[in-house]
Chain A
């Protein structure tokens, strides 16, 4: 019997260069800087495109390449040393196939490695970590690249009718290199979901539930099927319940308490949810937030926040760090790591 653990050995991130402020959004829709900040905590976000204007970066894959190369360099790992690629996104460059296999080609990774296409929304990066952790712990792999990246600006409805979602989402994400080691790195990952709420947050069309993929009717009506739906109050309530709960669970299962944690890196959905997370944990641990600068980058938000926290010196070797998420599905989870 052998003992192995997966640990994050390198991290990188990428976002479009262009900042879109709340004031800029008020040119497209009936909103204001105050309205957005009060409800979300977001001041600006990075977008690859604003309305009809392309602002530079054009694809999810291009950003993933930047983040992946930075993570590989940070880890001192060559692309050919990777044993698997895991790519979490809901905004791939193409519906089929996804970006993972192409990322390997662009990076110069070996062709004989698996390339996982993960579609778990806001929890996608944690699912990616779970896959990488399993592959390394079971000695299937030595080094795994996990990417969480989104390009959402091209799909947003910038009219007033779409403001409840358009102001929230941003582009960007990050990547980590997971590496096998004999001392503890990732200590515990707990993932959970409750499909009874599948219709409360997401996008109905195009989808395969109704006997067809897409119909003209999907584009019609006040709430067309191709427009995202989001029951904000319910999401806030459930996220405020589930995130602190799952953080406590992973800590408890590893014999730790909140006081042992140095920092929590949560999915950046809304500052009010992060404030509630802090409140539920009685303010006993720092909750990292960069949502004011990037908005909600779905599967990209945790690696992007983690990369910034590391760069700011808020995550140091030996510290106990917890990553946590909540999103569509509903799905939620937490990963406890010894940095």
Chain B
């Protein structure tokens, strides 16, 4: 039996050390004109190295030891191995004790899922210090592929980059000046039969389900982004999203971006910040990176909503606000 009470706090958000990779200019395609850059992690670093970099900084800057963490939520669609998940490698490198490690594969919506779940675990007494790690090295899908790509894969290659960030969630306030509390949440999960953002293989429906040399050479393992369909999915989900944004009335909206100008197209009546121009679409890392950068640049810090997109009709949002009387 569990009890529920009190607030939950989010620590300062830390990004993986930028030295682990380099920023590259985005490449435009026939279908899309791209400005800005994408971050690409150097090949010698595994996704768990990126997660470790962010996690260690987060622990250090919030004066928390690894053995004080009692649960880890790892958000990643790009684990070190096909299985087990990234969380296993991260826990080993972190030197954390034998604690639970959840692997979530909700792409850009994953941070909202993870923060909401971490808050629920803390509020119900099931954990006292949860590490949320968000790492996606999406550019690696294309790293060793020299075959012919279709337009959907070219779009994905152009728009997708790497990223990593981490934060802590606890029932105790953190001492850092940007400590926050977690409030309401909202989600939408309405996957169409043929999503505009997808990676069809490997698939348990296919035979053989494991990838073959033929699949690799034909590029069937590559993710695709169908831009027209994605915009249509976004339009379909926009009404529900706007309704929630009106209800939450945020002063600031931070988000990843799926495509250029996406947040503006939603018509949110508040200050918006995303990391798309600098990082591209970096899956689960995007929303946390955007929030971390926003807080570091000391922009608006009241009734902030962190919004993550995982493809047109799938998103999650979590309301956060300043922790009362903590460190400021």
Contact = CB atoms under 8 A, between A and B. Distances in A.
A118 B103 contact: yes
A211 B140 contact: yes
A98 interface: yes
A155 interface: yes
Contact of B84 (A96, A121, A155): A121
B270 to A, nearest CB: 21
Interface size grouping (class) on chain B:
35 or more
A190 B193 CA distance: 36
A243 interface: no
Contact of A208 (B80, B117, B124, B221): B80
A30 B99 CA distance: 41
Interface in B247-292: none
A247 to B, nearest CB: 15
Contact of B83 (A116, A191, A203): A203
Given A59-B204, A93-B205, A194-B98, A105 B191 contact: yes
Interface stretch (A135-143, A257-265, A270-278, A309-317): A135-143
B124 A196 contact: no
Given A4-B4, A118-B103, A207-B81, A135 B120 contact: yes
Interface in B171-204: 185-193, 195, 197-204
B156 to A, nearest CB: 10
A150 B205 CA distance: 11
Contacts of A131: 102, 117
Contacts of A226: 210-211
Interface stretch (A65-73, A287-295, A328-336): A328-336
A209 B142 CA distance: 14
Interface string B69-99: 0010000011111111101111111000011
A233 interface: no
B161 interface: no
A121 B102 CA distance: 10
Contact of B102 (A90, A95, A127, A203): A127
B30 interface: no
A308 interface: no
B124 A331 contact: no
Contacts of A205: 81-82
Interface string B117-150: 1011101111000000000010011111100000
A95 B92 contact: no
Contacts of A15: none
Nearest to B8: A138
A214 B204 contact: no
B177 to A, nearest CB: 27
A116 B113 contact: yes
A96 to B, nearest CB: 4
A134 B121 CA distance: 5
Most chain B beta-carbon contacts within 10 A, residue among A121, A138, A150, A192: A138
A118 B102 contact: yes
Interface of A: 1-5, 49, 52, 54, 58-60, 85, 90-98, 100-102, 104-105, 111-121, 127, 130-131, 133-135, 137-140, 150-152, 154-155, 184, 187, 189-199, 201-216, 218-219, 226, 328-331, 333
27 contacts: A1-B4, A94-B198, A95-B203, A96-B223, A102-B193, A111-B313, A118-B102, A135-B117, A189-B126, A191-B99, A191-B102, A193-B91, A195-B88, A199-B81, A203-B83, A206-B202, A206-B221, A207-B81, A208-B140, A209-B48, A209-B80, A211-B44, A213-B78, A213-B144, A214-B145, A218-B216, A219-B213
